[in-house]
Structure 1
Amino acid sequence: MDKITNKLDTWKDIFIKNIPNIAIALVVIFIAYFASRAINTFISKTLGKKIKQESVRNLVSRVASAFIFLLGLYIAMTVLKFDDTLKAIISAAGVSGIVIGLALQGTLSNTISGVVLSFRENLNIGNWIETNGYSGQVMDINLNYLVIKEADNNTVVIPNKTILENPFKNYSLTTKMRIALECGVEYGADLERVETLTKEVINNTFNQEKLGKNVEFYFTEFGDSSINFLCRFWIESEDALERLRGKSNAIIKIKQAFDKENISIPFPMRTLEILPNQSLDIHKLTEKEVS
């Protein structure tokens, strides 16, 4: 008990003796923390006028913020006279760095990939992309992963390495998208009138002349109950949602125009012929035959 008491007294004396240093170290860490946040905001605003890519601005501001905080932490440890401890840590880091590097190979790969993605001009925050089976708006590009928000508001986190090693489609690189719309009309319809009417509806709705494009219209086949056609046109869009809205709007307008001109869009029908000497048992028909 005497040894324990003496040890505690020694620690108490050391603590009391170093109270000024501890107070200074805490102040330094406190200042470094808020300085790092201020630097982050300042660099983001300053670079915002010169660098258009938000991902690059975020990367630079985060690195600068981390550097300021680590610098403050180093000064605080120096004030507490942990110089020998720092030297020991740095010496050990050289030996253990190889082991840690091998263990964190995937993490380091994602970090390097994050730096590469941040400087890519064909990928930026706010773009609508499709990659690795997911499609959505890029919300963040950091040193470990990329975050996208899908159309259903779900958030998807994808490792940077996966993005870099696989192709992706960026809908935001162009302001124009082409929509392909397939439909069919009855066999008794005036096909020339169908083509003219469809082109007029698309031109009036989406103004192809302003986009410098033309409406493409092709009859594709004699179907079982209709003559089918393909209509392709362009819209102003930078994401897949606008493409869906454009296609939906085109379907509504074409249906309204066809109804006004008494042009039917047929659907498959089945006719059952019952001979006079045959009976029909409805209970023995399959669901498909009944429909």
Structure 2
Amino acid sequence: MDLHIDEAWKEMTNRLTSWIDSLIVSLPNIILALLVFIIVILLSKYFTKLTWKILSKSSLQKSMKNLIAKLISVMVILAGLFLVLGILDLSKTLNTILAGAGVAGLAVGLALQGALANTYSGIVLSYIKHIKFGDWIESNDYEGEVVDIDLRAVTIKQSDNNLVYIPNKLVLENPIRNFSTTAQSRVILKCGVAYSSDLEFVRDLVCKTISSHFDKVENTKEVIFLYTEFGDSSINFEIRFWINSTSSLEVLKAKTVAMIAIKKAFDDNNINIPFPIRTLDFPENFKFNKPTNN
């Protein structure tokens, strides 16, 4: 029993001694590898800042610039790792790592299909010019200002100041309504007047009122006034005019100003905006049965 213990102890001692000898022999390479790795980390940070400086002069979006800077940083670090493994004479380990990375990459790709789709969509959205920071858009039944585009989602701020995060894949695959592609927006307002109203006077009054309350509308020709139908209790009309804004909130504000101004103008000129009413016609010989008190 003691003999086996002695042999095991000697075997362990010999192995430790050989490992220490190997470590001492490889110590210069290890120190060099550490120095190279530190230099690579510093270089990756430098190239990231340099990339940001170069791309700051381009028209690419912030998310696209961030993605390019990160990719260059990762490439520099990977190149440094390969160099470190070569210094440590671990070429066989490098081949094993590459083979394992291929299998692991396939498994990860299958497991993260949705995330990768959003990442790809984020890259595309960052590159195209149809949507950018500050635009007022409508997508997937949500409307607001684009405040961020990253590799996962498009962030929009609604008119009530709430943030909505829409996955990039949904934004790319569904229609996008961009209100900021033009410099102006059209305001459409519907109303109605009583059948007894002078329709020509109403038309001229509404056009004059709108022109006097908005800077963009310089004359009555820029206001489109259309009578649309004979309603149940009113003759309905529609007015259209432009404002110098692409924000949906500003359109609502302009509509509010127009409604207040039109209502005041109608009140000053005794023009009635009727509400739905119902008239009951009774036969001439119709008799009301009065309730009797018991």
Larger Rg: 2
Show structure 1 runs of 5+ residues with no match: 281-291
Mark the CA change 1:230 to 1:256 in structure 2 (over 3 Å): closer, same or farther.
same
1:82 CA drift (Å) = 6.5
Please say if residues 138 and 144 of structure 2, whose CA atoms lie closer than 8 Å, have aligned partners that are also in contact: yes
List per-residue Cα deviations over 1:90-121 (Å, max 9, x = no partner). 11122343343333333332222222221111
Show structure 2 runs of 5+ residues with no match: none
Distance in 2 (CA, whole Å) between partners of 1:185 and 1:22 is: 90
SS of 1:173's partner is: coil
Instruction: Report what 2:288 is aligned to.
Output: 277
Please say if residues 199 and 215 of structure 1, whose CA atoms lie closer than 8 Å, have aligned partners that are also in contact: yes
1:271 CA drift (Å) = 6.5
Distance in 1 (CA, whole Å) between partners of 2:166 and 2:172 is: 11
1:175 CA drift (Å) = 1.0
Amino acid at match of 1:173: T
Instruction: Report what 2:168 is aligned to.
Output: 160
1:214 CA drift (Å) = 2.1
Q: Which is further off, 154-163 or 214-223?
A: 154-163
1:47 CA drift (Å) = 2.2
1:73 CA drift (Å) = 6.0
Instruction: Report what 2:113 is aligned to.
Output: 105
Instruction: Report what 2:199 is aligned to.
Output: 191
Instruction: Report what 2:189 is aligned to.
Output: 181
Pick one of 131, 142, 160 that aligns with 1:123: 131
Please say if residues 44 and 57 of structure 1, whose CA atoms lie closer than 8 Å, have aligned partners that are also in contact: yes
Instruction: Find out whether 1:260 has 2:262 as its counterpart.
Output: no
1:13 CA drift (Å) = 6.9
Mark the CA change 1:257 to 1:210 in structure 2 (over 3 Å): closer, same or farther.
closer
Instruction: Report what 2:59 is aligned to.
Output: 51
Where does 1:78-117 land on structure 2 (aligned, <5 Å)?
84-117=92-125
For this pair of structures, how many residues does the alignment match?
A: 274
**TM-score, normalised with respect to structure 1:** 0.74
Instruction: Report what 2:251 is aligned to.
Output: 243
SS of 1:203's partner is: helix
Distance in 2 (CA, whole Å) between partners of 1:113 and 1:91 is: 29
SS of 2:129's partner is: coil
Percent of aligned pairs with the same residue?
Answer: 43
Amino acid at match of 2:289: Q
Q: Which is further off, 256-265 or 70-79?
A: 70-79
List per-residue Cα deviations over 1:32-83 (Å, max 9, x = no partner). 3x76566545533432323254443333233334444555666677778766
Please say if residues 60 and 127 of structure 2, whose CA atoms lie closer than 8 Å, have aligned partners that are also in contact: no
Mark the CA change 1:174 to 1:272 in structure 2 (over 3 Å): closer, same or farther.
same
Please say if residues 177 and 234 of structure 1, whose CA atoms lie closer than 8 Å, have aligned partners that are also in contact: yes
**TM-score, normalised with respect to structure 2:** 0.74
